[in-house]
Amino acid sequence: MKTWAYRAVCLFAWAAIEVVAGNPVAAAAADRPNVLFIAVDDMRCELGCYGATHVQSPNLDRLAASGVLFTQAYCQQAVCNPSRVSLLTGLRPDTTKVWDLTTEMRTVLPDVVTIPQYFRRHGYRAVAYGKIFHNPFPDAKSWDEPTHTPKDVVNYSQANVARLAEFKRKMTATGKPKAAVQRMRGPATEIQDQPDDKNADGKMTSDALSKLRALAAGESPFFLAVGYIRPHLPFITPKKYWELYDRRKIPLANNAYLPKGAPLVAFGDRSLGGFYELRDYLDYADAPSPLDQSLTEAQQRELRHGYYASVSFVDTQIGRLLDGLKELNLERNTIVVLWSDHGWKLGEHNGWCKQTNYEIDARAPLMIRAPGAKANGRPCKALVEFVDVYPTLCDLAGLPIPNTLEGRSLTPLLEDTEATVKDAAFSQFPRRHAGRDYMGYAMRTDRYRYVEWLDATTGQLTARELYDHSVDPDENENLAERSSVVDELHDQMWRELPAPPIPFPFVQAIIDK
């Protein structure tokens, strides 16, 4: 049997022949590997395969054990829309100009070619189930069919639907802003007494398995994308997954405080480091600012319990997908890639949700199983970024890597987990603070996380953060004001990153209004 490396070389040769012949969908496409592309929303690196023995994730663990688990993979911005656009285009947020949840990718990059779109151009059939791009913007150009969403599922129970309606009525009666009323949702958690397939992620998995069987019988290689909602809020899963955990024994964050010496812009006075998202659930609408105090212990345990139950629920669904590949005899010819769009805080730095430049938000799960790869079954601690996924999949499928991409292929790491492909990983996050806009840039090296906060109008450096992971892996103390390495790290950051677009376009939009 050919090794993965040899097969990749052969496929690349075929691709070159096709380009010369002017036919990118020639017969060689049928010999290319399939791709199962699994996206999970808000999943942090707290799984069994990452050493979290208190979390039950047997199916994710077996995927990690059969492929390469990247232990230091970083998103380019720790919030949904920018992160997903960045990964799916292979471009950093400053290039995509997507820094928020409201910008539709095609309005700023009308001609960009996404991963599934590129694979379609090379003879693949690309189909999506669930959340791949940000929900409001499924991007029809990327797929052969409209993105599939599950039907006949139950979200909140009727009791909680009624509870939300009454809560909104009272908000309106007391003069709350219309936008706040519209954003309000039901409770942050709900224990469902119903089968998996009545939950959106369960039904979506069943639908995706039906499509998998159809794709397996087709003549073209496939790119099947399956995107899970959980463990995004609200934590709504069937009862059996809640019963996997004893709430009294769930560990709580051991650093429920802001990093010592951190500038307030790092959390921001509007977003509160993403905490505002939790306040959009009726039972946490009055939660205190993380700048003031922590949630109660009961609230912390409830949210952690719901999060872990959601992880285990999604883990079961992913196991069904992996079983489906095996039953259809597709494992030997299917690349499996699993990623989450960013990490998530469960009380760390007194925060909940995402939207910071800290390790807990920027680091996220990434697993790649390439048939025959020498490194399968071994974890890889090399620094990697989500912009690297696009060139890696091209490399594995034998497709030419577009020269516009800003990431690097990780295929050397799939052969040798001790190799390196880059010296640093970069993330960023915009922040509104004290009436001004800022952009924070974070660089993660083997030892340090270094952050610069720039005024988004003038480009002036207004604050720095430095965390030494050799002694402070939880990033609890900012050393920037008394370290001799910050200037060296500053130089490294701006050697490797393009100059920022000062003034930022989002600032100009605010001025124009």
**Cβ partners under 8 Å of residue 49, min gap 6:** 57, 60, 61, 64, 65, 69, 379
Positions marked active-site: 80, 134
The sign of the dihedral angle between the CA atoms of 340, 346, 350, 351 is: positive
CA dist 365 and 385 (Å) reads 11
Strand partners, 431: 438
Of 348, 310, 356, 285, nearest in space to 199 by CA: 310
Task: Tell me if 45 sits within 8 A of 345, measured CB to CB.
Answer: no
Of 56, 115, 64, 2, nearest in space to 322 by CA: 64
Identify the three-state secondary structure at position 462: strand
User: What amino acid occupies position 326?
Assistant: K
Hey, how many other C-beta atoms are within 10 angstroms of the C-beta on 21?
Answer: 9
Identify the three-state secondary structure at position 449: strand
CA dist 97 and 141 (Å) reads 19
**Cβ partners under 8 Å of residue 270, min gap 6:** 276, 432, 433
φ, ψ of residue 465 in degrees (nearest 5)? -135, 145
C-alpha atoms less than 13 angstroms from C-alpha of 100 in its C-beta half-sphere: 13
CA dist 66 and 468 (Å) reads 32
Structure tokens at 195: 């089968």
CA dist 205 and 212 (Å) reads 10
